[in-house]
């Protein structure tokens, strides 16, 4: 079976990507398991950052690599935190601080104006010079809650309301989140592109 490096250090993403990629015909290994350090994400768009991360892992390992770049896009904040979602409050990956900053920025903003979406782009590079990377995206539309709800998921999930179900993303069962989320949609598209 062909090995595929997952070019991410985010445990929440890994937990969601693994079952989504099951049966896609790859033997999955994380970049951490192969000793690959995080790439510098200095792109201005999600897709640029996903390419940077996938290429970094490809170059370091000589294996095909899949990267996920994702984030939260809040309309009332002009699209912030966007590509800076992981370090919105400063430190990389401090979800509690990121949520606190987000709720502060939206203080006093009425419910109807708290629209947001999660965005995910997946890039699969079959080798470092792959001129035709596979690129798949997904969006999950909802609203930012006034406070945290639920204990599941990761990142901004406790403050993201799925308006269709009335549940916060952190109140979804993992398999249900994977069916409707930005990442779930991107994987479904990627699997179409792979013919898997």
Ligand X SMILES: O=P(O)(O)OP(=O)(O)OP(=O)(O)OC[C@H]1O[C@@H](n2cnc3c(O)ncnc32)[C@H](O)[C@@H]1O
Question: Is residue 178 a contact point for ligand X (CB under 6 A)?
Answer: no
Q: Which of 86, 161, 167, 186 binds ligand X (CB under 6 A)?
A: 86
The DSSP bridge pattern shows strands 26-30 and 167-168 to be unpaired
- With CB cut-offs between 5 and 8 Å by kind, which of ligand X, Mg ion, none does residue 138 bind? none
The phi and psi torsions of 82 (rounded to 5 degrees) equal 50, -130
Q: Where are the alpha helices (DSSP H) in the chain?
A: 11-21, 46-61, 95-105, 174-180, 182-194
**Which residues lie below 8 Å from residue 88, measured CB to CB, with a gap of 6+?**
80, 81, 98, 101, 102
Residue 99: exposed, middle, or buried by beta-carbon count in 10 A (0-12, 13-18, 19+)? Answer: buried
Out of 61, 69, 77, 168, the residue judged to bind ligand X by CB under 6 A = 69
Could you confirm whether 69 is annotated as catalytic?
Answer: yes
Q: Is 179 annotated as a binding residue?
A: no
Give the binding range for ligand X (CB under 6 A) out of 6-14, 54-62, 104-112, 185-193.
6-14
Q: Does residue 181 have a known ligand-binding role?
A: no
Which residues belong to the active site? 69
Binding site for ligand X (CB under 6 A): 8-10, 13, 38, 41, 53, 68-72, 85-86, 93, 95, 118, 153-157, 169, 181, 183
């Amino acid at each position: 079976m062909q090995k595929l490096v997952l070019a991410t250090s985010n445990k929440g993403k890994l937990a969601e990507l693994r079952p989504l990629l099951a049966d896609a015909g790859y033997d999955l290994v994380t970049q951490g398991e192969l000793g690959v350090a995080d790439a510098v994400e200095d792109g201005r768009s999600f897709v640029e950052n996903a390419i940077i991360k996938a290429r970094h892992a490809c170059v370091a390992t000589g294996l095909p690599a899949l990267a996920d770049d994702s984030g939260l896009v809040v309309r009332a904040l002009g699209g912030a935190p966007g590509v800076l979602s992981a370090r919105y409050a400063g430190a990389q990956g401090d979800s509690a601080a990121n949520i606190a900053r987000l709720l502060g920025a939206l203080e006093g903003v009425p419910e109807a104006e708290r629209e947001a979406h999660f965005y995910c782009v997946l890039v699969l590079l079959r080798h470092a010079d792959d001129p035709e990377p596979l690129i798949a995206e997904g969006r999950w539309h909802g609203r930012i809650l006034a406070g945290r709800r639920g204990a599941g998921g990761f990142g901004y999930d406790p403050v993201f309301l799925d308006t269709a179900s009335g549940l916060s993303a952190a109140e979804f069962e993992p398999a249900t989140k994977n069916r409707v989320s930005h990442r779930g949609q991107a994987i479904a598209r990627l699997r179409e592109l792979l013919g898997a």
